[in-house]
Chains A and B, each alone.
Chain A
Amino acid sequence: MPLNAVEIEGLGKTFPTPSGLSRFAVIKSLSLRIQRGTFASIVGPSGCGKSTLLNIIAGIEPHDLGHVRIIPQDGTNAAARIGYVFQSPRLLNWLSVEDNIKFALEAQTIDRGRWDERVQKYLEMVGLSGQELNYPLKLSGGMQQRVAIARALAIEPDILLMDEPFSHLDEITARKMRVDLMHILEHAQPTILFVTHSLREAVFLSEEVYMMSVKPARIFKHLRVDIPRPREPEDPRLFDLEKGLVKEFFAVLERDQQ
């Protein structure tokens, strides 16, 4: 029996309507299990509540119904470590690259004696060795996002949440980042929950793809991508999978609108 890293049961979340008089459901009875060490993606259109879901898992936003459980890798009852990579890097621009990573390590109360080793290891992993003392605003957007990825990996999270992390980058940079992320995962095998609106990105990166519909968000399709890694972005099998999913997605959208 494979171990789960995340278990979500009957999750419900409502927001007040603009008038404030009633509430509408953003997420309705959503259940999801992610096995340890898996790269899982959630694909859905913009505004379907994907980010809200991640924020709930991260504990930044409260939810109304159901429960979310993150199971620590070491099997202890310690609080689970959650790494988060946002759409924009969200770095602390007044701290050096190194201190940005140490910020996360300090927040997670990781032993100070291990900070330097972690910083070195994960900066090297994202290809930014030598940038330790640089300030974020001196780096390009792609490099800033790499720092954000190193920051999230450095805490060696039980779950790594990624919220469209490449959507703010130009396509060439984004493409390189996706390939690099794939290589990074050969060294570190965190459990990843990756949110995107791009089916192509999802099938290229993930082992599991979950498709989400809009308002209220629910998962209507689960797909395993059995193509071994590392994958080539131009792999025709990926295109076939993507085509099939697009077709299915529009069918559901039309059904929902009726």
Chain B
Amino acid sequence: MTKYTLLRLVSIISFLALWRLGSELSSPKILPGPVAIGETIIENFVTPGPEGKTAWFHIGITLARILVTFSIAMLAGITIGLIMGLRRRVELAVGYLIPVALTIPTLLAVFLCVLWFGFSESGGLFAVVLTVTPFVTVNMLAGSKALDKELIDMAQAFKAKRSLLIRKVLIWQLMPYIFSAFRYAFGMTWKIVALAETFGLKFGIGYMFTFWFEQFNMVQVMAWIILFVALMLILEHGLIARVEERVFAWRPVHAL
């Protein structure tokens, strides 16, 4: 463990050193150094920037957008996927729509929604839900196909009611699929939310990319990108990984 920590530390320090070197060799306007970026990030948190808002405000807006769209997409995807997986007729009737939905390029979906709704909050958020939902649906469809018939028979032999069957037998078998959908959908959601903010939504981290991009302010653009990446890494590894660990506590740990 300590060996790897040391290795990683050396790697990070080397990376920062190379970055610094690159910045010195080119110019701070093209590649600002790590110190300048770090200072700018702290500065953004402390003093209000454009629109009179600090970084906290933009982070809050972006996180709220992610939370809302992500929840809706997960809920819709799980429901649709399960209905399709458990009702063959529904799958036959509308299954072909999934590849169609998966094929539409994300950028086009955003443009389409801008055309429909204008540069409004609901338009941007709708685009996110529209693009993420099919991915969740596909995962749940696969999960519902992989359900263990023997366990369902067992539950029926003991006369388990439908709600008990869903709560104690089905949901848990679907957990790996829900989590893989969760991770994937989460990654997609924040990318598309950032995209929608870049293209039209007011406020948020993506909005700040555009703002500083239009000022040709390299330091600020990079500061916001790094802040965004750091935030998403914390969410992914800090939050999702923890929840996953708890949910799968029943699995024996296999030595790799």
Contacts and interface: CB of A to CB of B under 8 A. Distances in A.
Say whether A associates with B.
yes
Interface string B163-201: 010001100100100000000000000000000000000
A93 B250 CA distance: 7
A136 to B, nearest CB: 8
Give chain B's interface secondary structure class.
helix
Interface in A61-108: 79, 82-84, 86, 88, 90, 92-95, 103-104, 106-108
A172 interface: no
Nearest to A55: B153
Contacts of A86: 150, 154
B156 interface: yes
Contacts of A253: none
Contacts of B159: 59, 79, 82, 107-108
B250 A135 contact: yes
A79 B156 CA distance: 14
Interface residues of B, number: 20
A158 B69 CA distance: 51
B158 interface: yes
Nearest to B165: A107
B160 to A, nearest CB: 4
A238 interface: no
Given A92-B151, A135-B250, A137-B252, A59 B156 contact: yes
A90 B152 CA distance: 10
B250 A137 contact: yes
Given A92-B168, A135-B250, A137-B251, A60 B158 contact: no
Contacts of A58: 156-157
Given A55-B153, A92-B151, A103-B168, A84 B250 contact: no
B161 interface: yes
A155 B160 CA distance: 13
A107 B169 contact: no
Contacts of A114: none
B155 interface: yes
B116 to A, nearest CB: 43
Given A88-B150, A103-B164, A137-B251, A94 B172 contact: yes
Interface string B128-169: 000000000000000000000011011111111100100011
A55 B175 CA distance: 29
B168 A95 contact: yes
Contacts of A135: 249-250, 252
A241 B250 CA distance: 46
A84 B158 contact: yes
Most B CB atoms within 10 A — which of A103, A108, A135? A103
A106 to B, nearest CB: 6
A92 B153 contact: no
Nearest to B155: A107
Given A60-B157, A103-B160, A90 B250 contact: no
A90 B249 CA distance: 19
A81 to B, nearest CB: 8
A138 interface: yes
Most A CB atoms within 10 A — which of B157, B164, B249? B157
The 8 closest A-B pairs by CB, nearest first: A107-B160, A107-B158, A84-B157, A94-B172, A90-B154, A58-B157, A135-B250, A94-B250
10 contacts: A58-B156, A58-B157, A83-B158, A90-B151, A92-B169, A94-B250, A103-B155, A104-B158, A107-B158, A135-B249
Given A60-B153, A90-B154, A103-B158, 15 more contacts: A58-B157, A60-B157, A83-B158, A90-B151, A92-B168, A94-B175, A94-B250, A95-B172, A95-B250, A103-B160, A103-B164, A107-B164, A137-B252, A138-B252, A155-B158
